[in-house]
Amino acid sequence: MNISVQTRNLTRRFGRFTAVDRVTLDVYEGEIFGFLGANGAGKTTLIRMLTGLLKPTEGEAQVAGFDVWGQSEAIKRRIGYMSQRFSLYEDLTAEENLTFYGGIYGLRRDQIEQRKAILFEHVGLQPFAGQMTRDLPLGFKQRLALACALLHDPPIVFLDEPTSGVDPKARRSFWNLIYQTAQLGKTLFVTTHFMDEAEYCHRVGIMHMGRMIAVGPPGQLKRQYDKSTMQEVFIALHQSSEEAA
Amino acid sequence: MNASLKRVVAIARKEFLHIIHDPRSLVVIFVLPIFQLTMFGYALNMEIKNVDLAVLDYSRSPISWQLVQTFEGSPFFHVQYFDGQPDELERLFLQRKARAALIIHPDFGRDFHRQPATPVQLIIDAVDPNAATLIRNYSLQVIAEFNRRFGGEIRLPFDVEKAIWFNPDLKSAYFFVPGLLALILIMLCTLLTSVTITREKEMGTMEQILVSPVKPREIIIGKVIPYIVISMTIGVLILSIGIVLFGVPFRGSYVLLALFSSIYIITALSMGLMISTIARTQQVAMMMAQIATLLPTIILSGFIFPLSSMPRPLQWVSNIIPAKYYLKIVRGIMLKGNTFSQLIEPAGVLLVMTLLLFLIARRRFSMHLEG
């Protein structure tokens, strides 16, 4: 299998605080990689480094085969990003938001129209195309944000806590959407702090205090730690690393 | 269309959409300058008319009557006879029934024909010093007029003939229309630019843009284009109102003014950019833009208060106020019909200032985004 995201001892420090501590990780093409950790564990910092928003302090990382140190331009064209904070223009319609993101990725007019049609279909937003974004229910805003991240057809998509703040039903249907997106052959890198969502991932990585303390398929991790849910695995791992510290 | 241009167009288009979708902002942007213009136009009137003048004529001679008549004939004064004692005049001033008093002593009629110079006394209420100066000047004009007509054979060896150029009637509209143009352009551009960028930071949309291949300079250009268009439109609006409503002349070239105005607008946009790299919220950005533009432009540019009458240190500070140079340019072009070569000095300073400011702002902005 081809590797989509690869890091070697990737580290980021803010002054004396180490937010991400020597993380080494491989994410494969077409995978839904779940990225777990409590708030402040370093998930967002790691994603920000991989998307080129933040320079690493040291270590190496390749995204879509390009180096984060010198080839961030090439990386940016090949990734989609949906940030933790809902970040679409509330005073633009759903369609205008998509058109804008098409424009800043340098797509042609006809490409934008074509992709818009496909994505509205994909995320089920057709009836709301002309509505102001601020009037959409939160679940639909999130679908729109995903559509914006997918507009330029990137092979790798980073979703930073995409389901925070929505009800369980909307979360469930958003995960269906994530599955459908993976079936298009895309690599999805999803951070979450909902342990039930971890069960949906092909593989998960668990982060604690800036370090990656476990990586593997949910089933394997549950067997390894002799637990029945990811929730329990997470708590067990948390305690053991707390004791080690 | 190459990719970079496409990205710039996408950002500029989105920025226009923000404005169109929020008609209130559009109203504020356009109504505010018109409001300010009319306010300044009618309130900031440097011409004083109908000053209440109390006259104490102890002489009661034909010639003193002529003097009072000359005051009465002037549109500046409204003459009121007062028969009391000089020490009661104070009460008149305190009650604001008079702003000036003319006292003609009993021997005026006799002395006028005998002595080369005959004094009269003029008392002016100087609570408002500017008005007092004006009243004094008007009075001297009236007295000069009186002397010409009744002074008889006695004449000064020479006569000063006054000629006021470029604004012969000393109309205030002539100076506040250019001043307001300078003020509104810098205030609005700085404010709009800093707020539009800070808003994206506040909403988190800046991050979403930054993971795309967009470069900082494309963000700057795309964001600034709509505001250049708006600023130019407002500039035209102010000029039209000034010319049509207030009768301000336009003696120079429109093209030249447009050229220099665009430099000035870029100065304002650079200031806005600079502020956006410091302010975290729209509110803070708004306040900073106000502080950086409103008072310095009103006080230190020569808009209202002449720079030459300020203390030295303030005069030095005024050298870094862009509006000072722009004001020279606008007044020069509108009132004097200055040509390009006559404006090289202020235009050169403004250009250098703008370039410097823009380069620093751009550098700061790029570094700020790359965090």
pLDDT digits (tens, 9 = 90+) for A19-29: 999 999 999 99
Q: What average pLDDT score do residues B153-181 get?
A: 73
Residue B91 has pLDDT above 90, yes or no: no
The Cα B229–Cα A238 span in angstroms is 57
Residue of A nearest to B18 (CA): A91
Q: Which of B17, B211, B214 sits opposite A51 (nearest CB)?
A: B211
Candidates B211, B220, B370, partner chain A, best to mutate (most A CBs within 10 A): B211
Q: Residue A36 corresponds to which amino acid?
A: L
Q: Could you tell me the pLDDT band of residue A192, with boundaries at 50, 70 and 90?
A: confident
Domain B51-150 has CATH 3.30.450.20: no
How confident is the model at residue B153, as a pLDDT? 57
pLDDT at B307: 84
Query: Which residue in B207, B369, B370 has the most chain A C-beta atoms within 10 A of its own C-beta, making it the best mutation to test that interface?
Result: B207
Q: Does A86 touch chain B (CB under 8 A)?
A: yes
List the beta bridge partners of residue A62: A6, A67
Conformation bin of residue B85: beta by default, left when phi > 0, alpha when psi is -120 to 50: beta
ipTM of this complex prediction, to 2 decimal places: 0.87
Query: Do A8 and A64 touch, CB atoms closer than 8 A?
Result: no
**A189 touches B: beta carbon within 8 Å:** no
Name the closest residue on chain B to residue A47, using Cα atoms.
B211
Q: What is the pLDDT of residues B131-166, one digit of tens each?
A: 888 888 888 888 888 888 887 655 556 666 777 777
CA–CA gap between residue B343 and residue A63 (Å, rounded): 55
**pLDDT score at B46:** 61
The answer to whether residue A49 neighbours chain B at the CB level (below 8 Å) is no
Non-local CB neighbours of A88 within 8 Å, separated by 6+ positions: A97, A133, A141, A144, A145, A148, B205, B208
- Determine whether the interchain pair A85/B21 forms a contact, defined as Cβ–Cβ distance below 8 Å: no
Could you give the CA distance from residue B66 to residue B200 in angstroms, rounded to a whole number?
73
Q: Which domain covers residue A158, as residue numbers?
A: 3-244
pLDDT at B27: 85
Q: How many Å lie between the alpha carbon of A103 and the closest alpha carbon of chain B?
A: 5
Cross-chain residue pair A104–B207, CB shorter than 8 Å? no
Among chain B residues, the shortest Cα distance to A50 is held by B211
pLDDT digits (tens, 9 = 90+) for A156-190: 999 998 888 888 888 899 999 999 999 999 999 99
Interface check for A77 against chain B (CB to CB < 8 A): the answer is yes
Distance from CA of A13 to the nearest CA of B (A): 13
| Residue A122: C-alpha distances to residues A118, B40, B317 (Å) | 6, 58, 61
- Which residue from A92, A96, A105 is facing B212, i.e. has the nearest CB? A105
Find, in chain A, the residue whose alpha carbon is nearest to that of B218: A104
Q: Which residue has the tokens 């985004």?
A: B369
Is A92 in Cβ contact with B14 (below 8 Å)? yes
Contacts of A106 in chain B (CB under 8 A): 3-4, 6-7, 213
Per-residue pLDDT tens over the stretch B346-368: 999 999 998 999 899 888 888 77
Q: CA of A46, closest CA in chain B: separation in Å? A: 14
Q: What is the pLDDT of residues A94-137, one digit of tens each?
A: 999 999 999 999 899 999 999 999 999 988 888 998 999 999 98
Residues in A touching B6 (Cβ below 8 Å):
103, 106-108
- pLDDT at position A18, please? 92
Residue B174 near residue B248 (C-beta atoms within 8 A): yes
**Predicted confidence (pLDDT) per residue in A226-240, tens digit:** 988 888 988 888 888
Torsions phi, psi for A56 (to 5 deg): -70, 155
Q: Structurally, how many domains does chain A consist of?
A: 1
Q: Is the pLDDT of residue B195 over 60?
A: yes
Chain A residues whose CB is inside 8 A of the B3 CB are 106
CA atoms of A221 and A226, how far apart (whole Å): 8
Cα–chain-centroid distance for residue A236? 25
* Tokens linked to A137: 């229910």
Residue B28 in contact with partner chain A when CB distance is under 8 A: no
Model pLDDT, residue B370: 65
Buried b (16+ CB within 10 A) or exposed e, B134-171: bbeebbeebbeebeeeeeeeeeeeeeeeeeeeebeeeb
| DSSP strand pairing (A32-37 vs A58-63) | unpaired
A36 interface with B at CB cutoff 8 Å: no
Contact A47, A191 (CB under 8 A): yes
Per-residue pLDDT tens over the stretch B26-79: 888 888 888 888 887 777 666 677 888 999 888 888 888 888 999 988 888 888
The pLDDT assigned to B152 comes to: 63
User: Is A76 close to B13, i.e. CB distance below 8 A?
Assistant: no
What mean pLDDT, rounded, does chain B reach? 87
Identify the CATH number of the domain in which residue A157 sits.
3.40.50.300
Q: Does B204 reach chain A within 8 Å, measured CB to CB?
A: yes
What pLDDT is stored for residue A82 in this prediction? Answer: 92
Give A131 to chain B, closest Cα distance, Å.
12
CB contact under 8 A, A83 and B9: no
Q: What is the tens place of the pLDDT at every residue in B330-343?
A: 999 999 999 999 99
Q: Is B213 on the interface with A (CB under 8 A)?
A: yes
Q: Is the dihedral of CA A105, A107, A109, A114 positive or negative?
A: negative
Closest to A84 measured CA to CA, from A46, A124, A115: A46
pLDDT band at A245 (very low <50, low <70, confident <90, very high): low
Amino acid at B344: I
Average pLDDT, chain A: 91
Whether residues B204 and A54 touch (CB distance < 8 A) is answered with no
Q: Domain coordinates of chain B in residue numbers?
A: 3-44+171-370, 51-150
Q: Kindly determine whether residue A92 and residue B21, on different chains, have CB atoms separated by under 8 Å.
A: yes
Any alpha helices (H) in chain A, and if so which ranges? 43-50, 72-78, 94-104, 109-123, 138-150, 168-183, 195-198, 218-225, 230-244
Contacts of A54 in chain B (CB under 8 A): 371
Chain B residues closer than 8 Å to A96 by CB: 14, 17
Average pLDDT over residues B268-277: 91
User: Which pLDDT tens digit goes with each residue over B213-270?
Assistant: 999 889 999 999 999 999 999 999 999 998 998 888 899 999 999 999 999 999 999 9
Q: Does A131 touch chain B (CB under 8 A)?
A: no
Nearest-by-Cβ selection for A87 from B4, B14, B204: B204
Q: Does A88 contact B14 at a Cβ distance shorter than 8 Å?
A: no
Split at pLDDT 50, 70, 90, the class of B86 is confident
Is B22–A91 a contact, with Cβ atoms under 8 angstroms apart? yes
Quote the CA–CA distance of A77 and A71 in Å, as a whole number.
Answer: 11
Output the six-digit token pair for A115: 């992709």
Structure token pair of residue B188: 């609005």
Are A103 and B21 in contact (CB < 8 Å)? no
**Over residues B155-184, mean pLDDT:** 76
State the pLDDT at residue B304: 79
The H or E element containing residue B87 is none
Residue A201 reports pLDDT greater than 70: yes
Interchain CB distance below 8 Å, B11 and A103: yes
**Residues sharing a CB contact under 8 Å with residue A226, sequence separation 6 or more, in sequence order:** none
**A67 touching B (Cβ < 8 Å):** no
B204 contact residues in A (CB cutoff 8 A)? 83, 85-87
